């Protein structure tokens, strides 16, 4: 299977499982990821997702050009990648933690850039080498100027050069840098801590922060009013207050 799935409490772990191809994205793998994202969105028991790669050679080497070329010559309908595209556009509702077990380039780095939180191996490198193949970073790389200074973003995008994990951390593009053997456990710890929180509050927080990032603070403030009643008047809001008063862990219902 090109995508492995397992549940760790409230966390769904997705592992890109094409280590011999450096976990490159084939049409089938993208469709599998999209299906997993859809099913996780529909499953109220999933509070967060961890996305990682198999092996120690790469988190993901980007698009599998050979597989895409073969698929373009094949007949039949294209696979449904709706929820993969939702993720690529920053619109996926549930929190996704990237666990970069090794180097991520091109679409592989863009997967991580689209994650909400990133934990990386201290040996990993990152880059957008699409220009070296006559392409450009269409999976999220061109949004870098929204996160780092324009000149640095342009240097990364126009040269296709790699940066190491320490530089990525310095630029604020990853959250944690740890030894390779600790990447998954660290990402799972972050995901579990998110999963312990009120699900409605988590979803609203991610949504509003994403709106602030893409559309600006004023848009986020306007959108906040639509979330306020849904969250503050929910059963979970009452449960949170009761649990605090009774000195116990809350029992969330997601409503």
Average pLDDT per consecutive 10 residues, the chain (255 residues; last block may be shorter): 96 98 95 98 97 97 78 64 93 98 96 98 97 90 93 97 98 98 98 97 96 93 91 93 93 92
Report the CATH number that the domain containing residue 162 is assigned in CATH: 3.90.226.10
Query: Residues 18, 133: one domain?
Result: yes
**Domain boundary pick from 154, 180, 196:** 196
Query: Residues 22, 133: one domain?
Result: yes
Query: Residues 215, 186: one domain?
Result: no
Write down the pLDDT at residue 133.
87
Instruction: Please check whether residue 208 lies inside any domain of the structure.
Output: yes
Instruction: Please check whether residue 255 lies inside any domain of the structure.
Output: no
**Domain boundary pick from 196, 217, 236:** 196
Instruction: Please check whether residue 153 lies inside any domain of the structure.
Output: yes
Instruction: Please check whether residue 251 lies inside any domain of the structure.
Output: no
Write down the pLDDT at residue 45.
95
Instruction: Please check whether residue 190 lies inside any domain of the structure.
Output: yes
- Full-model pTM: 0.92
Write down the pLDDT at residue 79.
74
Task: Yes or no: say if 191 and 9 are a contact pair by the CB < 8 Å rule.
Answer: no
Query: Residues 53, 178: one domain?
Result: yes
Instruction: Please check whether residue 252 lies inside any domain of the structure.
Output: no
Query: Residues 221, 191: one domain?
Result: no
Query: Residues 122, 239: one domain?
Result: no
Query: Which are the contacts of 75, defined by CB distance < 8 A and separation ≥ 6?
Result: none
Query: Residues 101, 216: one domain?
Result: no
Indicate the number of domains in the chain: 2
**For strand 117-121 and strand 176-178, is the pairing parallel, antiparallel, or unpaired?**
parallel
Query: Residues 95, 216: one domain?
Result: no
Task: Yes or no: say if 199 and 44 are a contact pair by the CB < 8 Å rule.
Answer: yes
| Residues with catalytic function | 110, 130
Write down the pLDDT at residue 128.
96
Instruction: Please check whether residue 254 lies inside any domain of the structure.
Output: no
How far apart CA 101 and CA 198 sit, in angstroms, is 29
Query: Residues 9, 130: one domain?
Result: yes
Q: What is the dihedral of CA 143, 144, 146, 152, to 10 degrees?
A: -150
Domain that holds residue 110: 3-196
Query: Residues 188, 76: one domain?
Result: yes
Per the structure block, which two tokens stand in for 74?
């094949």
Query: Residues 223, 164: one domain?
Result: no
Query: Residues 22, 10: one domain?
Result: yes
Q: Which of 252, 183, 192 has the alpha carbon at shortest distance from 49?
A: 192
Instruction: Please check whether residue 98 lies inside any domain of the structure.
Output: yes
Report the CATH number that the domain containing residue 209 is assigned in CATH: 1.10.12
Tokens 């990821």, located at residue: 33
């Amino acid at each position: 299977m090109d995508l492995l799935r397992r549940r760790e409490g409230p966390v769904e772990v997705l592992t890109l499982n094409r280590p011999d191809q450096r976990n490159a994205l084939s049409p089938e793998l993208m469709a599998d990821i999209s299906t997993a994202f859809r099913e996780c969105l529909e499953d109220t028991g999933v509070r967060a997702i961890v996305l990682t790669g198999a092996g120690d050679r790469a988190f993901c080497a980007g698009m599998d050009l050979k597989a895409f070329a073969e698929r373009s010559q094949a007949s039949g309908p294209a696979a449904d990648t709706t929820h993969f595209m939702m993720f690529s556009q920053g619109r996926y509702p549930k929190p996704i933690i990237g666990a970069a077990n090794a180097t991520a380039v091109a679409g592989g780095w863009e997967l991580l850039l689209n994650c909400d939180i990133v934990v990386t191996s201290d040996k990993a490198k990152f880059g957008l080498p699409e220009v070296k193949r006559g392409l450009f970073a269409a999976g999220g790389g061109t949004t870098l100027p929204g996160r780092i200074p324009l000149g640095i973003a342009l240097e990364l995008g126009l040269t296709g050069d790699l940066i190491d994990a320490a530089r990525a951390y310095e630029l604020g593009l990853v959250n944690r840098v740890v030894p390779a053997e600790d990447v998954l456990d660290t990402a799972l710890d972050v995901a579990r801590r998110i999963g312990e929180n009120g699900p409605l509050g988590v979803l609203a927080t991610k949504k509003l922060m994403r709106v602030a990032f893409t559309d600006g603070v004023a848009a986020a403030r306007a959108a906040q009013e639509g979330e306020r009643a849904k969250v503050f008047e929910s059963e979970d809001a009452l449960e949170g207050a009761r649990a605090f008063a009774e000195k116990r862990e809350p029992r969330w219902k997601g409503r």
